[in-house]
Amino acid sequence: MDTFTTILGQNMVFLNVITDRFQEGGSLGMTLVLICLLLGIYFAIKAFSNINSDLPTFMKYKKLVNQVVLLGLVISFLNSLLGMIQAFDALEATGGADPSLVAGGLKVTLLSPLFGLLVFILGYATTFILTWIRKADAEEVK
């Protein structure tokens, strides 16, 4: 029982850290990237369910996965740039800052592109797997 409580406690701490990082990265931008991730998962499921159907239907869903994860990556970089502009405005208004404060701000600015890049990599890996499976099925038919 004690082990279960420890594992559950560690999972809750991990979830709290992820939630905190999500909010630090900018709630609006990170939410938009999360929506892109969820749409990518939806389109990937549709592509996997249509893997043996006609080629245009399969390709439509495969392209939608690629486009939505690319959109998530672009939104994450836009969110990062907007955060950097706000940080530089704050630095300009105060006339300078402590280096540790600047380093903390840069860390927060990099959270959004990190999440966007993760979404992008997962989406493109999925389309790679889809293409690989579809070609393997096509070669078996020959």
26-50 pLDDT, tens per residue?
A: 778 889 999 999 999 999 999 999 9
C-alpha 68/C-alpha 127 separation (Å) is 12
| Number of domains within the chain | 1
The single-letter DSSP state of residue 1 is -
The single-letter DSSP state of residue 97 is -
pLDDT at 3: 64
Q: What are phi and psi of 25, to 5 degrees?
A: -75, -5
C-alpha 8/C-alpha 68 separation (Å) is 34
pLDDT at 14: 66
User: pLDDT tens, position by position, for the chain (142 residues)?
Assistant: 566 566 555 666 767 777 777 677 777 888 999 999 999 999 999 999 998 888 889 999 999 999 999 999 999 999 888 888 877 777 777 777 777 767 777 777 888 899 999 999 999 999 999 999 988 766 665 5
Task: Give residues with Cβ within 8 angstroms of 84, minimum separation 6.
Answer: 109
Are 79 and 26 a contacting pair, CB within 8 Å?
yes
DSSP 88-114: HHHHHHHT---HHHHHHHHHHHHHHHH
* Domain hosting residue 30, numbered range: 2-141
Arithmetic mean of pLDDT over the chain: 83
pLDDT at 62: 94
pLDDT at 116: 94
Residue carrying structure tokens 């380093």 = 103
